[in-house]
Structure 1
Amino acid sequence: MSQLYASLFYQPDVTAIFSDQALLSYMIQAEVALAKAQAQVSVIPASAATLIEQIGQSALAKIDVDALAIATGLAGNIAIPFVKQFTAIVKQQDEDASRYVHWGATSQDIIDTATILQCRDALALIEKQLQSAYDISLQQAERYRDQVMIGRTWLQQALPITLGHKFARYAAALQRDLERLQAMKDRVLTAQLGGAVGSLASLKDQGSAVVEAFAAELKLTAPECTWHGERDRMVEIASVLAIIVGNAGKMAKDWSLLMQTEIAEVFEPTAKGRGGSSTMPHKRNPVAAASILAAANRVPALMSSIYQSMVQDHERALGAWHAEWLAIPEIFQLCAGVLERSNEVLQGIEVNADAMQRNLDCTHGLIMAEAVMMALAPKIGRLNAHHLVEQACQQAVAQQRHLKDILAQMDEITAQFSVQQLDEIFQPASYLGNIQQQIDAVLQAAQGASK
């Protein structure tokens, strides 16, 4: 990603985790953990592991990144030239210790394990962002629980809801995202160590012991068996991130539509230089929504690559594994950027209550047609009530009059309702169903989760 666009689509801390320098650091961490694990079960000398660990602490500064980039294109993966450079760095200080660098491992072991370490650290940041979005949504659900607005289906005015109900729905989705993230951690944050074909034959009878020690060193789950060709763990991580992006995209779609000039019910927070136009001084564009919706458009395409990469050949794959190297970091970075922008808007959203009331009134009572029908149905039957109210709606539209005025002149209506009763039926706040109970349930679920 160009640095010119990074502030629009990414989040700097997660971007740093997936930088070239960070990847090399994680690979060094994996190599050091491997040596220490092998020393614990006497596969390599303890003195060699100690030296590899000591040298590893400063090895990053000695890596020739430019040479590594060139060599990677020739070798087919970054681990092969990396191991050569790291071994040479160790050899400069101790030739005996250098013999035990990368002992019994294969390139994919180091790359996969480094990737999992990246994922773990990035998921921790994303979880904090997600928790923040959830907490803010809960606060806004409570704050706006009584702010009546029109609900829309198929982009048309439908029935009254409250803004708090929208936020409660967002919060409920974000809570599910948090649960998904938590549920997968032990399953997906797993070390990779299998050697050439997954058998660790080079470690003789110590393979399983080394895997356990290796995972423990890195504070990762130890796998039952190698997973070089089974990529469901990586797919699950990416899938959860894609769901998070999709949920954020739904929120952004909502507020971008509500920002339309003719609706003007909510607005993204203002800031100097934000949301303007290069030619139209009056414009106030939903720039955060644009960034989020762009990511929500991009991530499914990346997920297609990830899903296709599950179909791998034999013990270690050609090409399919490689496709993850570009897609996984991009999905992480886009997800973090989406959450950063979502938090900004959720926290600072500007609400125009007058516009909400104006839009409730703009159909001249037609949005309350179902309320009238359901109040009338027990008295004359649902089908008869529907037919009667439908006729009244058609007349109101044709005559450009308020629906209540039309109904107040119909004998079938006045026989059933007083003027006061009809006025009460036409109050949007009187036809909100169980919205308040739903908001309460979302808030109570949050309280229960925090105990």
Structure 2
Amino acid sequence: MSHLYASLFYQADVTEIFSDYALLKYMIQAEVALAQAQAHVGIIPESAAEIIVSVANTQGIQAIDFDSLAIAAGLAGNIAIPFVKQFTAAVKTVDEEASRYVHWGATSQDILDTACILQAQDALKVVELQLQFAYSTSLELAEKYRVEVMIGRTWLQQALPITFGHKAARWASSFKRDLDRLEQLKARVLTAQLGGAVGSLASLLDQGSQVVELYAAELNLNVPACTWHGERDRIVEIASFLAMATGNTGKMARDWSLMMQTEVAEVFEPTAKGRGGSSTMPHKRNPVAAASILAAANRVPALMSSVYQSMVQEHERSLGSWHAEWLALPEIFQLCAGALERTVEVLQGLEINSVNMQRNIECTNGLIMAEAVMMALAPKIGRLNAHHLVEQACKQAVAEKCHLKDAVSQIAEVQQYFDAAELQQIFKPESYLGNIQEQIDAVLKEAEGEAK
């Protein structure tokens, strides 16, 4: 991603986690954990592990020549092979004997997969924090605007009245599900990888399982029941979660961007100097955050296609499929975190125009209350008859450009069963909100349970 576009689509912390420098730090971390685990059971000398740890702490990525690493990676097929050579050379300058034990019994994919999981672990912390901010802010909007009546829309047409609080409660509910998914997947996906050439760890003789347990513990990762070089569902599950979270933000951005349309003008993204303007039209107030979020929601599914295709691998370790993850997963992470960051910014500063919400409810001259009239009349004369009569009244109201209540009041059956006060009550949007308040209560109560 171009540096010029990074602030538009990405999130700074996650971008740093997936930087080249950070990747090498995670790879060094994996090599250190490997040496420490093996020294603990006597596979390599304790003194060798101490030297490896010391070089990692004192030199770190400074021991790596980035330019030569980049060139060598193209020849080797991955960066782990030339990385191990350079890191081994750095250890050798301190202690030649210790350098013999760098990367002992491991394969390139062990280090790269484990580094990827370490990256994911840290990046998911950022994503989780953003989700929590978005969730709590949506809950606040749901509570604050629970009785703020607005029009509900289906197929982009005015349908029935809802409240803005209900819309916010639905957003909150989706964030809650994202948080639940994240919590549930951690035990499955945040798992170390150490299997050696074909997953058998034959090079460690009868101590392979013990080393894997110690290796995972050093890295604060879960212990795999068996190696997963060729089974990529863990990576796919991480990406799928991120894709769903991004899609949820895209749905919300679509909502508020449509509500920002000039003719609608019910909500607005927060204002700031230089934000949302046009290079040619001084009057414009564009939904710029929504644009970034929707772009991410558009891009991530295409990247997910690559990740899903990477599941089909040959035998114990694959050719090419595994490599495709290196391109897709970091960008999915960055786009998701960026979309969440912009969603939080909007939700925390969202401007609500109650006057326009009320205006839009009234713009159909009562047509949006047609179902309410029909359902009030249906118990008296049957649903089908009521539907027919109200439908005719709707056509009359449109043709005569009058309010539906005036057209309905001329129907004999309506006059028979409802007086003027009752008919007036039927046409109040706030009287036809169904169980919206109960739904909002349920969402808020669910959050209270989480807080305890």
- State TM-score, norm by structure 1: 1.00
Deviations 1:112-148 (A, max 9, x none): 0000000000001110000110000000000000000
SS of equivalent residue, structure 2 residue 93: helix
Aligned to 1:413: 414
SS at match of 1:137: helix
CA displacement, residues 386-430 of structure 1 (integer Å, 9 cap, x when unaligned): 100000000000111000011122222111111111111000000
One-letter identity of the residue aligned with 1:211: V
Aligned counterpart, 1:52: 52
Is the contact between residue 108 and residue 228 of structure 1 (CA under 8 Å) also seen in structure 2? yes
Separation of aligned partners in 1, 2:333 and 2:407: 57
Secondary structure in structure 1 of the residue aligned to 2:234: helix
> What amino acid is aligned across from residue 164 of structure 2 in structure 1?
L
Distance 2:430 2:60 in 1: 66
Give the equivalent residue in structure 2 for 1:159.
160
Superposed, 1:9-408 pairs within 5 Å as: 9-57=9-57, 58-408=59-409
| Deviation digits for residues 154-189 of structure 1 (CA, Å, limit 9, x no counterpart) | 000000000000000001111000000000101100
Give me the TM-score of the superposition, normalised by structure 2.
Answer: 0.99
What is the Cα deviation at residue 62 of structure 1? 2.3
* Equivalent residues of 1:59, 1:89 under 8 A apart: no
Q: Which amino acid aligns with 2:45?
A: P
Q: What residue in structure 1 maps to residue 5 of structure 2?
A: 5
Which AA in structure 1 matches 2:44? Answer: I
Q: Judge conservation of contact 1:365–1:403 (CA < 8 Å) in 2.
A: yes
| More displaced 10-residue stretch of structure 1: 281-290 or 411-420 | 411-420
Verify the 8 A CA contact 1:33 1:218 in the aligned structure 2: yes
Q: Secondary structure at the match of 2:399?
A: helix
SS in 1 for 2:159: strand
Q: Which 4+ residue blocks in structure 1 deviate beyond 6 angstroms?
A: none
Q: Deviations over 1:52-97 (max 9, x none)?
A: 0011112211211011001101100000000000000000000000
Q: Could you tell me which residue of structure 2 aligns to residue 437 of structure 1? A: 438
> Could you list the per-position Cα deviations for residues 281-313 of structure 1 after superposition, in whole angstroms to 9, with x for gaps in the alignment?
111100000000000000000000000000000
Q: SS at 1:149's partner residue? A: strand
In structure 2, C-alpha distance between the alignment counterparts of 1:174 and 1:397, rounded to whole Å = 41
Q: Any gaps of 5 or more consecutive residues in structure 2?
A: none
* RMSD of aligned Cα (Å): 0.5
Structure 1: tracts of 5 or more residues without a match: none
* Alignment partners' CA distance in 2, 1:76 and 1:53: 27
Identity value in percent:
74
Matched AA of 2:132:
Q
CA distance in 2: counterparts of 1:28 and 1:124, whole angstroms: 21
1:188-239 CA-to-partner distances (Å, cap 9, x unmatched) read 0000000011111111111111111100110101111110000000000000
Q: Please tell me whether the aligned partners of residues 151 and 158 of structure 1 are also in contact (alpha carbons under 8 angstroms).
A: yes
Q: Which residue of 2 aligns with 1:450?
A: 451
Q: Distance in 2 between matches of 1:223 and 1:383?
A: 61
What is the DSSP-based 3-state SS (H/G/I as helix, E as strand, rest coil) of the residue aligned with 2:161? strand
Aligned residues: 451
